[in-house]
Amino acid sequence: MLSGFSLLLFREDRETVGAAKAPGSSSETAASLDGSPAMPASERSMVTNTNATAVPQTKDGATLTVFLTDGSNAVAGGLVELLTETGQTLATSEASGPQAAAPFQQLSAGRYALRVKQAPAGYLVPRPQAASRERIAATTTISNGSTSVELKLDRSCLVFGSVRGPLGENVEQSFVRFSSFEKLGRFVPESEFGITNGFYQGELYEGMWIGEVIAGVSNADWKPGALTVDTHPLARRVPPWPDTFQVLPGESRQIDFAFEAGQATLGGKINDETGGPFGGLQVYAYRVGSKDTPELGRAFDLSQPVGRSLTDSNGNFSFPELPLGDYVVNVEPDGFFPLAEPGKSKVGVLCAPLKVAVHSSAPALLQVTVPRPHPCRVMGRVTRTPQTATGDFPPTQLVLGIQPWRQVERRSVVELSSEGTFYFFLEASESDAWLEFRTRDGIVTYPLVLSASSDLPLLNISLP
């Protein structure tokens, strides 16, 4: 037993100090697909043999056999973990032999969960497991006798490359994040690989991916004194332009990144409707463009945040050291919570995004007019016909309709008192807002006609 335990520790240590591991790896530094921490070393050290921990048993006992495949062939060498439905580890077994079988014996009848604790080299854990917060590959119900389950592993795709700073220097204490085009698919498709000496390496699932560089260490790799996304010297630099690509099973793909030297400045001044300077506004800049993706048969639109600025007392803002390109500038209040009171919500007028072409080193300057906020008080009372018990009021929402800068409806819950009264503030420039009540007979809407010069009169709303 001691020799087996020693071999396991050597194996884990060797993997920990190696290159970045694939999503779902059991390495201490391995990144998982949804960014959650890797499995603790204390839990991994429990792997010894098939009966590493106590397993509920019956006199005769049932048998469960788990087969690992890649869809067509058996894949031996992986470690399979058996768990209770609540996530307690019961036993671990290695898939071995021509059929890559991992046996679990003398089990009591019941429902169990399965997890691939460690995939063989060149493979990744099943996609359903990567998508699951509990890291569960499958569940199965066992009765007396023999039960078998097949778990499909994915062949990994190796990605690697260099990351250079604006002067060609090696980038340190940063990471490369890959996000899959399958974000609405059946698994959480994000993976992060740390950069060491200007180089990264990791494994991805088959598919289309977007790669981007984040200056600063990831949450999983953070240690006291480490550079974060706020303190890294490159944090104020525009990151490398994201790259889109497709990887196939067993393929190796080199994707290099380099920070660009800033050559231009984007700035401007914001005035209010009276012509006076408007200070204290949040201004966000995004680099925009498109990249041809032959695999998709179309160009893929990209939008990359490059900075945030706050207008000063003279209404000025600036984004220095930008690479040449096309940008979008958004001007908006610092937070927009329509149901809070003025001063807490900072309710303001949202503005349509501004598109700017920065194609020379000459400063690009914008002159923008943004109306100051005019919060309008909305208050009233809801009654039912016929009268019902006190507090028996339908769920109520404030709905803000679609506008040029709002692509979808925005909904906020309106709290009604036990007497059916309500009270909130809303920006007067909202030209398409209404209250929506969900009654037993259906949805009832009540339009709000706002005015910048005065609050709304008390609303008396009678519902069936």
Q: What pLDDT score does 130 carry?
A: 87
CATH superfamily of 46-155: Immunoglobulins (2.60.40.10)
Can you spell out the DSSP letters for 338-379?
Answer: TTSPTTTS--------EEEEE-SSSPEEEEEE-PPP-EEEEE
Beta bridge partners of 301: 290
Tokens 């970045």, located at residue? 20
Domain 157-258 fold is: Immunoglobulin-like (2.60.40)
Beta-sheet strand order (sheet of 282-293): 298-310, 282-293, 325-332, 354-358
For residues 346 and 368, give the distance between their C-alpha atoms in angstroms, rounded to a whole number: 19
For residues 410 and 401, give the distance between their C-alpha atoms in angstroms, rounded to a whole number: 7
H-helix or E-strand spanning residue 91: strand 89-94
**Is residue 124 classed as helix, strand or coil in its secondary structure?**
strand
pLDDT string in tens for the chain (464-residue length): 333 333 333 333 333 333 333 333 333 333 333 333 333 333 332 333 333 333 444 445 799 999 999 999 999 999 999 999 888 999 999 999 999 999 999 999 899 999 999 999 999 999 889 888 888 999 999 888 899 999 999 999 999 999 999 889 999 889 999 988 775 444 556 788 999 999 999 999 998 898 999 888 776 666 676 777 677 788 778 889 898 888 999 999 999 999 988 888 999 999 988 999 988 888 989 999 988 877 777 778 888 888 888 899 999 999 998 999 999 998 876 555 666 666 565 556 667 788 999 988 888 899 988 888 778 888 999 988 765 444 478 889 888 887 666 667 788 888 888 888 998 888 777 778 899 998 877 899 999 988 767 788 899 998 87
Q: What pLDDT score does 349 carry?
A: 66
pTM for the whole structure: 0.66
H-helix or E-strand spanning residue 330: strand 325-332
Tokens 């990887």, located at residue? 247
Select from 143, 139, 80 the least CA-distant residue to 110: 143
Select from 30, 8, 108, 123 the least CA-distant residue to 68: 123
Q: What pLDDT score does 116 carry?
A: 96
Looking at the chain, the domain(s) classified CATH 2.60.40.1120 span 375-463
Select from 80, 99, 100 the least CA-distant residue to 90: 80
CATH 2.60.40.420 fits 375-463, yes or no: no
Looking at the chain, the domain(s) classified CATH 2.60.40.10 span 46-155, 157-258, 264-369
Domain 264-369: CATH class, spelled out: mainly beta
Buried/exposed 428-461: b ≥16 CB within 10 Å, e otherwise: bbbeebebbbeeeeeebeeebebeeeeebeeeee
β-pairing verdict for 459-463 and 396-400: unpaired
**Separation in Å, CA 112 to CA 50, 64, 175, 342:** 15, 10, 37, 54
**Is residue 13 classed as helix, strand or coil in its secondary structure?**
helix
For residues 276 and 365, give the distance between their C-alpha atoms in angstroms, rounded to a whole number: 18
